[in-house]
Copies of this chain bind each other. A is one copy, B any other.
Amino acid sequence: MKKLLITGISGFVGGHMVDFLTRNRQDLEIHGISRSQPAWDFVPVRPELLTNHYFHRADLLEIPKIKKFLECVQPDYILHMAAQSSVAESWKTPVFSFMNNTNIFLNIIDTVRLNDNGARVLSIGSSEQYGVVSAQDLPLTEETPQHPANPYAVARVAQEQLATIYANGYGLDICCTRSFNHCGPGQTDRFVISAIVKQFVQIAHGLQDPVIHIGNGSIVRDFVDVHDVVAAYDLLLSKGRRGEVYNVCSGTGRTIREIITLLSDMTGIDAGVHQELAQIRPIDNPCIIGSSEKIRRELGWKPSVSFDQSLRSVYEYWDHRIRQEGAPGNN
């Protein structure tokens, strides 16, 4: 039985990935690694009931521990999802963000190099790598030059460049994504769609005045549902070309204000919008829209969850939580 190691398994995408794998890939023994034990409340799988699944607590900055772990498990595949993936957080704690993106990835791939067992690695990157782009660069293809414009984006560019060096210079079997904004149930409200939908749910439950608080409402982002993301990762792990980079995106751009209008229509809540200056970032990319042509052409992947369905599932997630917990704090 082939072994798949998933870093950052306890997170939002980690939970959905395990849910996908338990339904579609019973041929894999799964080893998850994370700083904290998984406690997903947004997917049906319960980690403690899984067979052929092993969870290990470790900090990927601890090189000797990672080395021992990889020598012991000898994974055939590594899906590296561990990351400090919030742009806003990276402006607040840039050193922490950089170490928990670039350094943890470098620790993993250098351990793979020294371990030399031929493990295949999928490195998860970000659309933030493109940075501030001009209208004629849209949609962004994998060939578009990268101009990272925040600490998180710099860390992700460095990660991908290291992946390329390790693939071409040391011969490691590494493939990379540039994953665009995700949405789906279980994402923390540090991310924009989850934050907005949670507010609509709170308004519906009478827990908040009918005003949606946002950062910059005019930025355009390309959102892809987390279920489509994990299907793409599964495909890329087995069939993505070595040393190549693939956009994982929907190809559709939406402003934050458009999303609020969609949610107003969906919920019947006519909320005001308040732009919080404190949430405006020092530099922000006005528009990020990707081209998914490469992954469609080479691997036959395409998004299957509509944006409407996606928003509904996020709404149901927060609605369920608020019914259970009352007003939830930050999460």
Is A54 an interface residue when CB atoms closer than 8 A count as contact?
no
Is A63 an interface residue when CB atoms closer than 8 A count as contact?
yes
Contact, CB under 8 Å: A103 / B99: yes
| B contact residues around A170 at 8 Å (CB) | 282
Measured between C-beta atoms, what is the minimum distance from A318 to chain B in Å? 32
| B contact residues around A91 at 8 Å (CB) | 169
Measured between C-beta atoms, what is the minimum distance from A198 to chain B in Å? 28
Is A271 an interface residue when CB atoms closer than 8 A count as contact?
no
Contact partner, A161, options B154, B282, B283, Cβ 8 Å: B154
Q: Which residue of B lies closest to A148 (CB)?
A: B161
Is A95 an interface residue when CB atoms closer than 8 A count as contact?
yes
A:40-93 near B, CB below 8 Å: 63, 91
A:250-302 near B, CB below 8 Å: 282-283
| B contact residues around A169 at 8 Å (CB) | 91, 149-151, 282-283
Measured between C-beta atoms, what is the minimum distance from A216 to chain B in Å? 15
Contact, CB under 8 Å: A165 / B145: no
Q: Tell me how many residues of A have a C-beta within 8 Å of chain B.
A: 28
**Which of A106, A107, A165 lies at the interface centre, i.e. has the most chain B CB atoms within 10 A of its CB?**
A165
Measured between C-beta atoms, what is the minimum distance from A130 to chain B in Å? 13
Is A162 an interface residue when CB atoms closer than 8 A count as contact?
yes
| B contact residues around A157 at 8 Å (CB) | 157-158, 161
Q: How far is the CA of A98 from the CA of B149 in the complex (A)?
A: 21
Measured between C-beta atoms, what is the minimum distance from A14 to chain B in Å? 25
Measured between C-beta atoms, what is the minimum distance from A321 to chain B in Å? 34
| B contact residues around A155 at 8 Å (CB) | 158
A:93-107 near B, CB below 8 Å: 94-95, 98-99, 102-103, 106-107
A:151-185 near B, CB below 8 Å: 151, 154-155, 157-158, 161-162, 165, 168-170
Measured between C-beta atoms, what is the minimum distance from A19 to chain B in Å? 34
Q: How far is the CA of A165 from the CA of B173 in the complex (A)?
A: 32
Per-position contact with B for A241-256: 1 when CB-CB < 8 Å, else 0?
A: 0000000000000000
Contact, CB under 8 Å: A283 / B168: yes
Contact, CB under 8 Å: A106 / B110: no
Contact, CB under 8 Å: B106 / A103: no
**Which of A95, A103, A283 lies at the interface centre, i.e. has the most chain B CB atoms within 10 A of its CB?**
A95
| B contact residues around A161 at 8 Å (CB) | 148, 154, 157-158
| B contact residues around A95 at 8 Å (CB) | 63, 106-107, 110
Measured between C-beta atoms, what is the minimum distance from A127 to chain B in Å? 16
A-B contact pairs, 10 of them (CB 8 A): A95-B107, A95-B110, A99-B103, A151-B165, A154-B162, A154-B165, A157-B157, A157-B161, A168-B283, A170-B282
Residues of A within 8 A of B (CB): 63, 91, 94-95, 98-99, 102-103, 106-107, 110, 145, 148-151, 154-155, 157-158, 161-162, 165, 168-170, 282-283
Task: Contacts A151-B169, A155-B158, A169-B283 known; list 15 others, CB within 8 Å.
Answer: A95-B107, A102-B158, A145-B145, A149-B168, A149-B169, A150-B169, A151-B162, A151-B165, A154-B158, A154-B165, A157-B158, A158-B161, A165-B283, A168-B282, A169-B282
